[in-house]
Chain A
Amino acid sequence: GDSVTQMEGPVTLSEEAFLTINCTYTATGYPSLFWYVQYPGEGLQLLLKATKADDKGSNKGFEATYRKETTSFHLEKGSVQVSDSAVYFCALSLGGTSYGKLTFGQGTILTVHP
């Protein structure tokens, strides 16, 4: 079946460090890919998305590129801030813009220290 695998966490960084969170997927079709962020005590917020190969999603300094050849969608940020501390989820959905059910990775806890 369809699945998403994220790098094991937690990840702890100093402020202004470079961030990479790896995400790879397995899908029977041609998925759309997403990164969601969850702050303590809250629901999920969409961080960025990409719907086809070589698309780059970006938002708030975060970027991820849809790589079909490596089935990956790694999240990167050049300089993290304390306010980026949260849980990050990679996810996929099939069905294009009809947006069916989401399949999530296991989540990665990011802690950024001053």
Chain B
Amino acid sequence: EADIYQTPRYLVIGTGKKITLECSQTMGHDKMYWYQQDPGMELHLIHYSYGVNSTEKGDLSSESTVSRIRTEHFPLTLESARPSHTSQYLCASSEYGYGYTFGSGTRLTVV
């Protein structure tokens, strides 16, 4: 059973639209992450957070933004979607001594 939930699973949206991808975890983990997975499968860290009100950009530059107002919630927002944003987005969390848990992902298509 997944303890980290991503919605929606699939999203097709027009260019220029604003979208928010939701990620919630029920484990109380302090650390949360967003990875972008391109069609070639590679996973790139785009944002991470080590606690409430703490967010950092990852290794891959992204036009998206994130917020961490509550421990369990780490949404990702694109203000103006473009076809180049078409990808799968994976959310994950981790905790000291526990390891990582991944969500099932959101597959975004921008037309």
Residues of A within 8 A of B (CB): 1, 34, 36, 42-46, 49, 87, 89, 97-104, 106-107, 109
The interface residues of chain A lying within 8 Å CB-to-CB of B94 are 99-100
17 pairs, CB–CB < 8 Å, chain A vs chain B: A42-B105, A43-B6, A43-B103, A43-B104, A43-B105, A44-B102, A45-B102, A46-B100, A49-B99, A99-B31, A101-B33, A102-B33, A102-B100, A103-B45, A106-B41, A106-B42, A107-B43
Residues of B within 8 A of A (CB): 2, 6, 31, 33, 35, 40-43, 45, 48, 58-59, 90, 92, 94-100, 102-105
**Is the beta-carbon distance between B31 and A100 smaller than 8 angstroms?**
yes
Most buried by A among B35, B43, B98: B43
The distance from the CB of A38 to the nearest CB of chain B, in whole angstroms, is 8
**Is the beta-carbon distance between A98 and B96 smaller than 8 angstroms?**
yes
Q: Cα distance A43–B42 when bound, in Å?
A: 13
**Is the beta-carbon distance between A42 and B41 smaller than 8 angstroms?**
no
